[in-house]
Structure 1
Amino acid sequence: MRTYSLDDVYETRKRRDSWWTVYFVDPVACRVALPVANHTRLTPNGLTVLSLVLGTVSAACFAMNQLVAGALVFYLSFMIDCVDGKIARLKGTGTPFGLWLDYVGDRIRVVLCAGGLAYGQYALTGDVIYVVLGAAVAVLDLFRYVNAPQMKRVREAVREECGLPEPDDDRGDRLPRGRSFPKRLNRFLARRRVRSHLISGIEFHAAVFVIAPIAGAWALIPLAVLSGVLLLTNEVFLVYRMWLFTRRHSVASTQESREHVLV
């Protein structure tokens, strides 16, 4: 059996990723992935199931008002979730079912932890706002991860219709010149593998289930609201960018059709 090096594991990292993953998860996940790859027979699907089990434990901790313990177990669950992808890419053992399991497992973990957090705080305080908070977190997460693949399908449909090449990075389609993210900062982030956005689903989860519980119960509502607003703002921007992309290429396609008819 091949022995992998840490450099081999580093090669499995995504070219661009969320800043939370790059700075706070990957440094740990890569070092955990190395002994897992070299000394165990754990499969990516097995690691995904382990991640979901840990997510359930995190939800139970939140439900018992053990906020710090819940936050630490949630971080561990997410870190293991990152390890399974690295093992799949390192050994070439990823499967379509594994992608589905990973995706659905993430959603289940968030719903369970949101419910656990809401139940624990409601049982402690009797304040219904925590029930609303848990429901809002679950809905925002589901919206984010339902919206993303639908936007991807729209872009792919436009590319196929217009004969456009695939984008050369994972940031999606660029805005027209003069409206894109400042180039210098974007190059700076690219060299560090960081995607050019402030908050995505990953940072939202980190704020609600890791940072806020560690800070204390007082931080749950303010950080959840702030991160939720930022997440929605990011989603609106992505939808606007997708609209610009479809509008620009729809106009170009119409003009080409007219020119073809005239010729």
Structure 2
Amino acid sequence: MNILIVEDELPTRRLLKDMVLRTRPEWEICGTTGSVEETVEWIQENTMPDLIFMDIQLSDGSSFEIFDKVEIKSLVIFTTAYDEYAIQAFKVNSIDYLLKPINQKKLEAAIDKFERLYQKASPPPELDYQALKEMLTSENQNFRSRIITNVVDGFKKIDVNDIAWLVSSNKITSAVTFDGHDHVVDFTLDKLEKELDPKYFFRANRQYILNIEAIRKVENWFNGKLVVKTHPGVKEKIVVSRERAKSFKDWINQ
């Protein structure tokens, strides 16, 4: 059985590879990729694997962009940090998933399900990945409208529309509002990225999530990277990688 692992976080990729081979040592990991672009190139240049483990959010965009660019004939087990609202979408579409951090027993159950679906005598069942994408990105989804920050004698409410950007530094997440004030919040950027409306907020890199209203100018940088100028200003450069540059431009231009 040939397996492709699509995961942008190297430690998670290594861990998943080890867990799969521990469960099915006879399987072959025929490839590992970490971005939409890299995965599309791999699929175009190699034989289609029997099974793909695929993270939903990759370094240069959503993994669903892969399905828009190449035909995927493999069955897919998604790995995801999505909350429970999204899990129902996976169940409805008969697609299995692994919620991060990945549990060995749940991995084994997902593999068992795959083996039941996979029949060498006939093509594997076709699953509607486009329907899943639409369910996960539905305009009816309830995005976060407020966030709270702790103060000396309690907590304070902040409307997300007042947040210019969110930044993570030394494992501390801060929301910087348009008035220039810095507010520490009890959520990771990974969690907030899933809960904020993607029409208005974009994960520029591992350190910053930006509000579209905070962006004043975008400058070209070396190797296809971009530098974002914001208001209020930031002392350090906010850099968008070459891999995420196209998604960033598409987001601004929508």
Give the structure with the larger helix fraction.
1
* Greater relative contact order structure (CA < 8 Å, 6+ sep): 1
TM-score by length of 2: 0.26
| Higher gyration radius (CA) | 1
